[in-house]
Structure 1
Amino acid sequence: MELIMSYQPIILIVLIILILILFLIIIIQFSAINKLEKRYRKFMRGVDNKNIEEIIISYLDRVDSAVQQSNNIKISVEEINSRLNNCVQKYSIMRYRAFEDVGSDLSYSIALLDNKNDGIILTGIYGRTDSTTYAKPIDKGLSRYELSEEENYVLKDAINKNI
């Protein structure tokens, strides 16, 4: 006990210094917390004095809307693609002279096919006295009717075209 009593003024001074240091640390911490709280409130206030939560909710609503529009566009594209399969996608044309006594290549055969090789062959035969046009249906690349050499050529040429 005597030892403590002899060092009592020194211990008291050290404790007072420690208390002052701790008080100084507390003041510094309050100051830092105050600055952080001001920055937090400014951040949460957001742009144009809007709350950051309102801004985030607004952006999330816009994202949901964009996703919905994207899904609608995807459905539309799929519908268009299915319709395109039934459109004319392959064709071939050949002009030729059907008769020796007729000048120039005035006769023709045209094959118009879709993606499944369904379609028609149009043939126009030009002669000196008359002109005749024929249409022959094509189903999966085949005709129920007999095809001429020129019609076979345009059919095979159209089928072999890549889309």
Structure 2
Amino acid sequence: MELLKSLFQEYGFIINITILVLLLIVLFLEVLNRIELNRVEKRYRKLMKGNNKNLEELIMSYTENIDSAVEKVNQINESLKDVDSRLKKCIQKVGIVRYRAFDDVGSDLSFSVALLDENNDGIVLTGLFGRSECTTFAKPIENGISKYDLSDEEKQALDQALR
């Protein structure tokens, strides 16, 4: 005990200064802590502004909203897949050639039209216009090829559609 008293008497000033410095450091840290706590409280009040719910209820509400949004997105994706599969079967490629089929007709009134979907399936529709009669007929196309012989104009229309 005597040793402790003698050490304190000898180094008392240094010990007091050290304690004072440590006290000032703790006080400074307490001020920084209060400032940060006020910042967090302001952010919390801003987050909870207009809500009578606690934070847990608010998070649960947002989670439910996210779940319903994800469900709607999944429904839209399914609907989009259905539309996309139906769109592949729609006419997407068209080629048309107008020509004069008969010498006694004055203008290019005859035509051949190729109508194809994404898989190059469809028809070639041909209309022949003459002075005394008009004839229209169609030839099926599968994978860009007809089972029937095509005229030069029909081949031209088909090539336009395939390009």
Give TM-score scaled by structure 1 length. Answer: 0.72
**1:18-65 residue CA offsets vs partner (Å, 9 max, x unmatched):** xxxxxxxxxxx9999999889878876775464122111111111111
| Identity in percent | 49
Q: Supply the distance in 2 between the matched residues of 1:2 and 1:91 (Cα, whole angstroms).
A: 110
Segments of 4+ moved more than 3 angstroms? 1-8, 29-50
User: Alpha carbon RMSD of aligned pairs, Å?
Assistant: 3.5
Q: Is the 8 A contact 1:45 1:52 kept in 2?
A: no
Q: 1:129 to 1:45 in 2, by over 3 A?
A: same
Deviates more, 1:89-98 or 1:60-69: 60-69
Corresponding position of 1:135: 138
Residues of 1 paired with 2:127 and 2:7: CA distance? Answer: 126
Distance in structure 2 (CA, Å) of the matches to 1:89 and 1:81: 13
**Change in CA separation of 1:33 and 1:158 when aligned onto 2, cut-off 3 Å:** closer
The aligned counterpart of 1:78 is 81
Residue in structure 2 matched with residue 103 of structure 1 by the alignment: 106
What CA distance in whole angstroms lies between the structure 2 residues aligned with 1:78 and 1:129? Answer: 50
Answering whether residue 60 of structure 2 is matched by residue 64 of structure 1, we say: no
Structure 1, unmatched stretches of 5+, are 9-28
* Stretches of structure 2 lacking an aligned partner (at least 5 in a row): 9-28
What secondary structure does 2:102 align onto? coil
Amino acid in structure 2 at the alignment position of 1:110: V
C-alpha distance in structure 1 between counterparts of 2:6 and 2:107, whole Å: 134
1:153 aligned to 139, 153, 156, which one? 156
